[in-house]
Chains A and B, each alone.
Chain A
């Protein structure tokens, strides 16, 4: 039972490069989320998808785009990476707003 799978686990980019972070869940969950976590800080919501076919901005959406490709997959794209986007990115999914969120292992992204 894989749960939430994120790829890649690590990535180093140069400023201005683009990149897509992939997330897939096998729990038939309706809602999926992308968070970033900076050292010593909590989780900040970038974008979320309450259900297939919908996406909404979270707290810190600037510089990112998302695609809910199907019920299983929710990708996060950095069009022009900036050093301020160096962070650990977590994808999560849930069966409903009153259900637990299940997290992937994270992608550790460094932008030079």
Chain B
């Protein structure tokens, strides 16, 4: 079945440093979504990418969808303590009604 892997599993940065998480799917995706889960909370939708090579920005967050639609990345510029949490990508293959979630990257930010 479809698998979605994320690297790294965990990253610890100093506030102000940049952070990137990478997402790789075993199959071509029709779209990819990104979610953030704060410690003890539930996943919250951040963004969706649909087109090959698409790049979207939300303030300090930049999201990319690969040309082959099998990989994606999330880059945070100048991290803040409010960025702490686990970031998940989730991909949809074809016309499926379900998403396959990646394994997640846990981000810790210290002062």
Contacts from A to B (Cβ < 8 Å): 31, 33, 35, 40-45, 48, 50, 56, 58-59, 90, 92, 97-98, 100-106
Contact = CB atoms under 8 A, between A and B. Distances in A.
B33 interface: yes
B95, B98, B100 pick with most chain A CB within 10 angstroms: B98
A48 B103 contact: no
Interface residues of B, number: 28
Interface stretch (B14-22, B37-45, B61-69): B37-45
Contact of B103 (A42, A92, A104, A106): A42
A42 B50 contact: no
A95 B30 CA distance: 17
9 contacts: A33-B98, A40-B9, A42-B6, A43-B88, A44-B101, A90-B43, A98-B31, A98-B48, A102-B45
Given A42-B6, A45-B98, 15 more contacts: A42-B102, A42-B103, A43-B88, A44-B101, A45-B99, A48-B98, A58-B98, A97-B92, A98-B30, A100-B33, A100-B45, A101-B35, A101-B43, A103-B44, A104-B42
